[in-house]
Amino acid sequence: MKAIVRLTLAVLLFCGLITPSMDAGQKPPQKPGEASRARGLFVNKKSDAMSILVLKLVDGTMVPVNPSTEFKAGDNIKIQFQSNFEGYIYVVNIEPNGKRKLLFPQPDAANNAVSPGERYDIPPGTAAIEFDKEVGTEVLQVIMSRSRIPYLDAALKEPEQYLSASVATAAAELGGGITKKVTPVVPAGDGTNKVRSRDIILAPGKDKDTEGSVVAIPDNGSGGKLKAGEIAPFEIRLKHR
Amino acid sequence: MIRVLKHWIRSAPTARCALSGAALCACVAVVSAGQSANRGGISQEVRSQVRQAIASIGLLSVRNTSDASPAPRPRGSSVIVRSDGVLVTNHHVITNTRTGRPYDEIFLTLSSDGEMSPSSARYRLKLLLINKDFDLALLRVVADAAGTPIPKSFTFPTIAIGDSRRIRVLEDLFIIGFPEGGGSTVTVNRGVVEGKDILANWIKTDARVIRGNSGGAAVSGEGQLIGIPTKVVADEQPVDRDGDGFPDDSRKYGAVGFLRPSHLVKEMLAQIGDEDAAGAPAPAPPKQVELPALVTVRGIVRSSGGKPVAGALVGLVPLGEGTVTESTLLTWGSTNAEGAFKLNKPVPPGRYTLKAKAIANEPYSSDVEIGPSASSLIVEMRSLTVR
């Protein structure tokens, strides 16, 4: 069996994002067969996996684009994904100034439970994500989990869904403790391994590829399924010029 | 930056949530209703310690040479912190509000009877050091009321200065001073530490603090000075009595007393040293404390492999502080795509403990030195990834 290229998530995956061509400086190592392996794991459900598609509004229609596209102020996009497992998906937007905002779920669409085979849009329905005039790299931190993540759920109650915007929530996240508003943080407690992240492998998508990019947990050693207390985070980096 | 539009086919305007708040602040001028209840359960030992502390609390009175009346008028309280007669009070107590300058003559009355004391218990004071930023001033007794110099051998009753950095929320404290509402006699009341604003140097209390308490003492159950009552912030809401839509009165719903922590007094005492000991010649103009410039803290968070970590939360707590709470977290910020962060509040130069957390990484804690110029830190986090 061919070796699987692992994109260590210690740095939250700089998988050139969903597409290795997105950022040449952070292009992950690619080995022949990795893409087909990731897609295979997604389809045969031997591993927890999901496909992600970046859609851009062009002439009134949302069309798939390469995530390495340079976006401009006024561009409207959607993120579409499909999981092959029963669980939860969170998407956190890390702005160019470092502020973190929960993009999915949202207060008016708070259910982020996902089922195999279903397609989900971020934002749902006719809503879209618009780039404003503040340029920089927008990071979309996508987190796959078998269970809910309380500190991310707590952001639903914060103004504009910003994480750790107040001293109370920041202290709770840094301290890993429990406050009135925020319960456990990822990872919980000092030095504990209660919440661990999993490696993923990537099958990058291409322009107009309706399947999109695929991320999958490799089905080696510990198995390709998320266990309790495990998460699989990865990043989508969108250039905004 | 990106934002969510409700409809991409026809872009709808997005609503923005604006948060606003207002606080009404007054310098020990607001009488708060029902701030502190009369609490029992004070042990004999605590009572004894607090009573001993009373001996070092004095009434400050002032006058200008141009005043028609020769009698000084009461302005606030003060605390003797050195046996040679050095005392601390609030800067606003000794300053003429109209001119912004210190009064020509400042007197201390050391008696629990306050302004009713005979003039023999009254001393003339000299201004040594002021700190307008923290609203504090150090003065020294130089003579009795008649102008006769105080002999070097004279020893004033003092209060021990406690470690205000170590006090905890809900610890008991006692406010000692000469509030006008108490008839300008020494008055003691009890409360608790409600909170600490470490960065802004405040201790908050529910104990009654009113006009005249300014510059006095907040003492611990051990009888040690832990703070100087400095201001009151009242919650005052407008009331529309006749229902015409315009407020015609206001109602106070409570107030919080603000104390300057006693470690600031220690720092000021260290600045004057012994050179201003009683009997030293050459009265000099008071010195103004220069605060160190605050420093904006920036840095980079990266993985052990050198890659930037986006979305990491970074914060500073006092040096050696093991836990992060609302009252210990001084400043914080999170990293962008390049792993760069800028903490949201500048801090004084010094040593701190830096804490960081990022999803899929081990929690990080390390002591750091923040220098006097712009500071840039490097944080290296270890992955929690399992393979």
Q: How far apart are CA A16 and CA B274, in angstroms?
A: 65
Element (H, E) at B153: none
Q: B88: which 2 tokens? A: 């601390």
The answer to whether A155 contacts chain B (CB < 8 Å) is: no
Q: Are B255 and B32 in contact, with CB atoms under 8 Å apart?
A: yes
| Locus of tokens 């912190």 | B81
- Are A14 and B385 in contact (CB < 8 Å)? no
The answer to whether B304 contacts chain A (CB < 8 Å) is: yes
Higher pLDDT, A18 or A224: A224
Q: Which residues of A touch B340 (CB under 8 A)?
A: 98
Least confident of A23-37, A182-196, B139-153, B216-230: A182-196
pLDDT for B36 = 40
Please tell me the pTM assigned to this model. 0.60
Q: Are B366 and A185 in contact, with CB atoms under 8 Å apart?
A: no
List, for residues A156-187, the tens digit of each pLDDT value.
Answer: 888 888 998 888 888 888 887 433 333 333 33
Q: Which residues of A touch B341 (CB under 8 A)?
A: 98
Confidence band, pLDDT 50/70/90 cuts, at residue B259: very high
Distance, in angstroms, between A149 CA and closest chain B CA? 11
Q: Are B196 and B168 in contact, with CB atoms under 8 Å apart?
A: no
Burial category of B280 from C-beta neighbours within 10 Å (exposed 0-12, middle 13-18, buried 19 and up): middle
pLDDT for A205 = 64
pLDDT for B95 = 94
- Are B359 and A187 in contact (CB < 8 Å)? yes
pLDDT (average), residues B299-318? 92
- Are A138 and B359 in contact (CB < 8 Å)? no
Higher pLDDT, B224 or A203: B224
Higher pLDDT, A17 or A102: A102
Q: Are B194 and B242 in contact, with CB atoms under 8 Å apart?
A: no
The answer to whether B365 contacts chain A (CB < 8 Å) is: yes
pLDDT for B284 = 60
pLDDT (average), residues B288-308? 84
pLDDT for A169 = 86
The answer for A 163-182 residues in CB contact with B (under 8 A) is: 163-164, 167-168, 170-171, 173-177, 179
Q: Which residues of B touch A164 (CB under 8 A)?
A: 313, 332, 334
Distance, in angstroms, between A83 CA and closest chain B CA? 21
pLDDT (average), residues A87-105? 92
The answer for A 79-138 residues in CB contact with B (under 8 A) is: 92-100, 103, 106, 123, 126-132, 134, 136-138
Distance, in angstroms, between B4 CA and closest chain A CA? 4
Confidence band, pLDDT 50/70/90 cuts, at residue B126: very high
SS3 state at B125: strand
Q: How far apart are CA A183 and CA A161, in angstroms?
A: 16
Q: CA neighbours within 13 Å on the CB side: how many for A165?
A: 16
Tell me: pLDDT of B133 over 70.
yes
The answer to whether B348 contacts chain A (CB < 8 Å) is: no
For Cα atoms B73, B76, B81, give the angle at the middle one, nearest 5 degrees.
125
Q: A93: which 2 tokens? A: 């937007």
Distance, in angstroms, between A112 CA and closest chain B CA? 17
Distance, in angstroms, between B358 CA and closest chain A CA? 8
Q: How far apart are CA B314 and CA B220, in angstroms?
A: 34
List, for residues B47-76, the tens digit of each pLDDT value.
Answer: 888 988 998 999 999 999 888 888 888 899
Confidence band, pLDDT 50/70/90 cuts, at residue B216: very high
% of chain B at pLDDT higher than 90: 44
The answer to whether B381 contacts chain A (CB < 8 Å) is: yes
Higher pLDDT, B135 or A38: B135
- Are B360 and A197 in contact (CB < 8 Å)? yes
- Are B334 and A141 in contact (CB < 8 Å)? no
Q: Which residues of B touch A68 (CB under 8 A)?
A: none
Q: How far apart are CA A145 and CA A143, in angstroms?
A: 6
Contacts of A69 (CB under 8 A, 6+ apart): A54, A56, A239
Q: How far apart are CA A57 and CA A77, in angstroms?
A: 6
The answer to whether B15 contacts chain A (CB < 8 Å) is: no
pLDDT for B387 = 57
Share in percent of chain A as helix, strand, coil (round to 5): 15, 35, 50
The answer to whether A51 contacts chain B (CB < 8 Å) is: no
The answer to whether A162 contacts chain B (CB < 8 Å) is: no
Q: Are A72 and A94 in contact, with CB atoms under 8 Å apart?
A: no
Predicted ipTM of the assembly? 0.79
Confidence band, pLDDT 50/70/90 cuts, at residue A146: confident
